[in-house]
Amino acid sequence: MRQQLRGDHYVEQQLGLDIWDWPQDKLIALSVDLAYRLGLHRILACSHHTFLRYCSALADRYVPSNTYHNFTHATDVLLVLCHLLLECGGATRMTELEVAASYLAAQAHDVGHPGTNNQYQIAAKTPFGTKYGEHATLETYSADLGQELLEQYHVLSNVPAQDRSILLSVFRSTILGTDMAQHQATCSALQRLPTNFYTYNYPPKQPRLTNGDSFPTTHALSLPALLVHAADISGPSRTNVAIWLKRSLAVTREFVHQGDRERENCLPVTASFDRRVLQPEGLEGFQRREIEFTSLVVLPYYLDLERVWNAIRPLRVAIETNLREWRQLDKTNVTNLWIGIFA
């Protein structure tokens, strides 16, 4: 089949690549290159022109004023996912439809995100909260919007109907799997699976658990969902702590923005988003919160995933290295960046 989907500026997917300051057109070019490397041109039978129009439209539906949940973050997650698929061998454990669905889900997983979280949508009774309810509020919206764009730009038009249905099902469930509200439940489920389950026994017909109890297969236990979630929280797994720092500061700016919105709307202000709490804590508080989140949330997930899919080990090692190096950052430089959040 003719290879029609091809980017002009192929960039090897490395965990040390920092794309945070790239312009949108360069991010789109990288996205197309990664799609070509994964073989989406063959799996989707999609022309370069069609896919490029879709990527551009998707990028435009991300909110550029968001300091974190923007198209840069989406491309950053996509970059790490492609590293897991191509460099760590994840693609060899999936069907082609799963590979394509995981790519599309990573790229679209936060499309339309308004810069405030699910809890805010419910508390403020926003249109998102009213329409989608309290379960995976924004994830469901992003899945809907992402599917709408795929259909509008005919990205899947050449995929047979049955395969298209499977691909969209994996696409949607993988995006829903990024909901942090289900993070602990996913970790618990992983802990009940046999060692190296995804290394030697995937795709499974039915997960077999070590304790003999029955456990329903959920979207969160599919390998596409597990890897996209890993990529979504991958900041501390990058090859140097400076890349992690840049993303942490962007997240904090967005949190502070939400705290301000909560106060403006006479809602209870989330303590970890409250500038009146964060600013007095200073740099030490920022570092402590990052270490706690990484040690208690990110690292345990990577350890649980490594137990059932050992190819993710290099990223887990990088997290532990960055945790040790976090305290060695230039305090003057980081303090100036920290103060800038509250300017």
Q: What is the DSSP string of 207-237?
A: ---TT-------GGGSHHHHHHHHHHT-GGG
Copy the structure tokens of residue 127: 């249109």
pLDDT computed for residue 337 by the predictor: 87
What are the backbone dihedrals phi and psi of residue 233, each rounded to the nearest 5 degrees, phi first?
-110, 30
**Cα separation, 107 vs 103, whole angstroms:** 6
Q: Cβ(54)–Cβ(150) under 8 Å?
A: yes
Question: Token pair of 108, please?
Answer: 């679209």
Task: List the structure tokens of 279.
Answer: 């600013």
Comparison of pLDDT for 192 and 205, the residue scoring more: 192
Task: Cis check for the bond before 204: say yes or no (omega within 30 of 0).
Answer: no
Task: Name the more confident of 251 and 203.
Answer: 251
Q: What is the mean pLDDT of residues 222-232?
A: 96
Q: What is the CATH number of domain 24-341?
A: 1.10.1300.10
Please give the radius of gyration of the chain, using alpha carbons only, rounded to the nearest integer: 20
- Residue pLDDT, tens place only, 66-100: 999 999 999 999 999 999 999 999 999 999 999 99
C-alpha span between 153 and 108 (Å, rounded): 14
Tell which phi-psi region holds residue 12, choosing left (phi > 0), alpha (psi between -120 and 50) or beta: beta
Give 232-252 as a DSSP string. HT-GGGSSSHHHHHHHHHHHH
pTM of the model: 0.92
Q: Specify the pLDDT at position 50.
A: 96
Tens digits of per-residue pLDDT, 239-295?
A: 889 999 999 999 999 999 999 999 999 999 999 999 999 999 888 899 999 999 999
Spatial separation of the C-alpha atoms in residues 246 and 157, rounded to whole Å:
39
Q: What is the C-alpha separation between 317 and 238, in angstroms, rounded?
A: 10
Answer whether residue 131 shows pLDDT above 70.
yes
Cβ-defined contacts of 287-290 (< 8 Å, 24+): 287/326, 287/327, 290/244, 290/248, 290/326
Question: Tell me, what's the pLDDT at 11?
Answer: 44
Mean pLDDT, the chain, integer:
90
Q: Return the sign of the alpha-carbon dihedral for residues 260, 262, 268, 271.
A: negative
Please give the C-alpha separations between residue 268 and each of 113, 124, 261, in angstroms, as whole numbers: 21, 10, 10
Domain ranges of the chain: 24-341
Which pLDDT score, from 0 to 100, does residue 13 have? 53
What DSSP line would sit under 65-97, residue for residue? T-SSSSHHHHHHHHHHHHIIIIISSGGGGS-HH
Query: Rounded to whole angstroms, how far apart are CA atoms 254 and 318?
Result: 25
Task: Specify the higher pLDDT residue, 6 or 107.
Answer: 107
Give burial (CB, 10 Å; 0-12/13-18/19+) of 221.
buried
